[in-house]
Amino acid sequence: MFRQHIQNMVGIESGYLIFSLIVFMTFFVGVLWWVFKADKNYIKDMEQKPFEN
């Protein structure tokens, strides 16, 4: 099954598959990086929002 998907990636339309994978990975790694860099006070502040009223 996996072989079939990999084989599909080699065809004419491979561009779409590779493109979509690269776009997503870039996006994901970007979000992950920023989330890890998040300031602790900011997180503490945000998670309290529902309790402010």
Partner 1 sequence: MQVENFNYDNRIVRNFIIASVIFGVVGMLVGLIAAIQLYYPAFNFNLPYTSFGRIRPLHTNAVIFAFVGNAIFAGIYYSLQRLCKARLFSDLLSNFHFWGWQLIILAAAITLPLGMTTSHEYAELEWPIDIAIAIVWVAFGVNMIGTIIKRRERHMYVAIWFYLATFITVAVLHIVNSFELPISFTKSYMLYAGVQDALVQWWYGHNAVAFFLTTPYLGMMYYYLPKAVNRPIYSYKLSILHFWTLIFLYIWAGPHHLLYSSLPDWAQSIGVVFSIMLIAPSWGGMINGLLTLRGAWDKVRDEPVLKFFAVGVTAYGMATFEGPLLSLKNVNAIAHFTDWIVAHVHTGALGWNGLMTFGMFYWLVPKIYGTNLYSKSLANTHFWISTLGILFYAIPMYWSGFAQGMMWKEFLPEGMLKYPNFLETTLQVIPMHIMRSIGGTLFLSGVFVMIYNLMKTAATGKLIANEPASAPALEKNYIAQGANTYWHKVFERKPVTFIMITIVAILIGGMVEIIPMLTIKSNIQTISSVKPYTPLELQGRDIYIREGCVNCHSQMIRPFRSETERYGEYSKAGEYVYDHPFLWGSKRTGPDLMRVGGKYPDSWHYNHMIEPNSMSPGSIMPAYPWLAENDLNTSNTADKINAMRTLGVPYEVGFDKVAEADLMKQATKIADGLSKDGYPIEANKELVALISYLQRLGTDIKLSKTASK
Q: Answer yes or no whether residue 29 interacts with partner 1 by CB under 8 A.
A: no
Q: Answer yes or no whether residue 34 interacts with partner 1 by CB under 8 A.
A: yes
Q: Answer yes or no whether residue 9 interacts with partner 1 by CB under 8 A.
A: yes
**What does the alpha-carbon distance between residue 4 and residue 9 come to, in Å, rounded to a whole number?**
9
Q: How far is CA 52 from the centre of its chain?
A: 31
**What does the alpha-carbon distance between residue 27 and residue 5 come to, in Å, rounded to a whole number?**
22
Per CB under 8 A, residues contacting partner 1 are: 1, 4-5, 8-9, 11, 13-14, 16-17, 19-21, 23-24, 27-28, 31-32, 34-39, 41-43, 45-53
